[in-house]
Copies of this chain bind each other. A is one copy, B any other.
Amino acid sequence: MSAVDLIEVWRGDLREGVHQGHAVICDAKGIVQSWGDPQAIIYPRSSCKMLQALPLIESGAADAAGLTTQQLALACASHNGAAIHTQRVGQWLDDLGLAEPDLRCGSHMPQDREANRALTCTDSKPCQLHNNCSGKHAGFLTLNKHLGGGSEYVEVDHPVQKAVRQAFEEVTGETSPGFGIDGCSAPNFATSLAGLGRAMAFFATADQRDDTRSRAAARLTQAMMAHPELVAGEGRACTAIMRAAKGAAAVKTGAEAVFVGILPEKGLGIALKILDGGTRASEAAITALLVRLGVLDSGDPVVGRYLTDPQKNWRGFETGELRLAPGFAN
């Protein structure tokens, strides 16, 4: 099976473009519905941060460090590098007796408009706290302090990453075929889309179980839904969609157009991948699936923003629209 058309880009009467990919909806037993190839092997990229955070809680490291739900949300975040993110991560490192140079995520300009403007207009450089993954790395450092590992916590054979890989493989139900180095320098373990979907269903049904891992998964899901502004930031899809879902879904994007959803009330998990890495399509596709599953109201402004509103040009004229490909989510 190969990728299928998921999102079409229309201008005037012509389909100007199309985004192909794979999508899967899973429950605790397995695949409920899929489009494209559920066995396609992908890198989940940042969409699996809640999986990478499991050992942080299971090990007892999170409670030993007294982490708050805000910090757990940041551990699962790809944030905008706004003050609400960088200040909290900076304080977190300080609480650990560590500092910004202990991070191994690298630096990039923040996406947050005000933070970006402040750096740009003072000729300042960003630091590693601005990296969208700095919360995940603070979580890695918290686990590392608990495990007593060395400073290079992103190396694949480091105790932190070994713990991440074990949790990742157990929850996806697959032996990972390999890993790539992510933008933040951490290993990113490959999985089938179905494996990622199963993992999301594990999170979605975690509050129905009482084992250590399930309790950890439920805490992370609740933390993400409780602090959507910390998981991404203003103007970002994850934040806007979680606010609109009002506690019915935790969602997370990943680079190269991966998107996952955790639907506790439905006991369902979603995983999707746009093959070309087009974010407009992964955002439209997760929105469509959440509407289909009754988590988002089709009339909600967030649905218009990411899927149904007309595309407009620089003079505000309507020039086209995104459409669901025939057979996808409709």
A184 at the interface (CB under 8 A from B): yes
Whether a CB of chain B sits under 8 angstroms from the CB of A163 is: no
A107 to B277, CA, bound (A): 28
Residues in chain B near residue A11, CB distance under 8 A: 43, 180-181, 188
Interface flag for A179 (CB, 8 Å): yes
A247 CB-CB contact with B under 8 Å: no
Determine the chain B residues whose CB is within 8 A of the CB of A316 once the complex forms. 106
Q: Once the chains bind, are B180 and A16 in contact (CB under 8 Å)?
A: yes
Binary contact readout A1-44 vs B (1 if CB under 8 angstroms, 0 otherwise): 00000000101111011111000000000000000000001110
User: Nearest residue in B to A258 (C-beta to C-beta)?
Assistant: B16
> How many of these chains are in the complex?
2
Question: Is A104 interfacial (CB-CB < 8 Å)?
Answer: yes
- Partner of A185 from the list B16, B274, B317 (CB cut-off 8 Å) is B317
CB interface residues, A 37-77, toward B, < 8 Å = 41-43
Q: Is the CB of B183 within 8 A of A275?
A: no
Of residues 269 to 286 in A, which have CB atoms within 8 Å of B's CB atoms? 274-278, 281
Count class of interface residues, chain A: 35 or more
Interface core residue of A20, A182, A277, A281 (most chain B CB under 10 Å): A277
Q: When chains A and B are docked, how far (Å) is the Cα of A235 from the Cα of B89?
A: 34
The distance in angstroms between the C-alpha atoms of A315 and B103, with both chains bound, is 11
A12 to B319, Cβ gap below 8 A?
A: no
Docked complex Cα distance between A277 and B322 (Å): 13
A190 at the interface (CB under 8 A from B): yes
User: How far is the CB of A130 from the nearest CB of chain B, in Å?
Assistant: 10
CB–CB B108/A314 < 8 A:
yes
Contact of A319 among B177, B180, B278 (CB under 8 A): B180
In whole angstroms, how far apart are the Cα atoms of A179 and B107 in the complex? 44
Given A178-B12, A183-B319, residue A314 in contact with residue B105 (CB < 8 A): yes
User: Is A313 part of the contact surface with B, judged by Cβ < 8 Å?
Assistant: yes
Q: How far is the CB of A312 from chain B (nearest CB, A)?
A: 9
Which B residues touch A104, using CB under 8 A? Answer: 315
In the assembled complex, A234 has its CB within 8 A of some CB on chain B: no
Which of B177, B183, B314, B317 contacts A107 (CB under 8 A)? B314
* A-B interface, 5 closest residue pairs, ranked by CB to CB distance from nearest: A106-B314, A12-B180, A276-B276, A121-B121, A11-B180
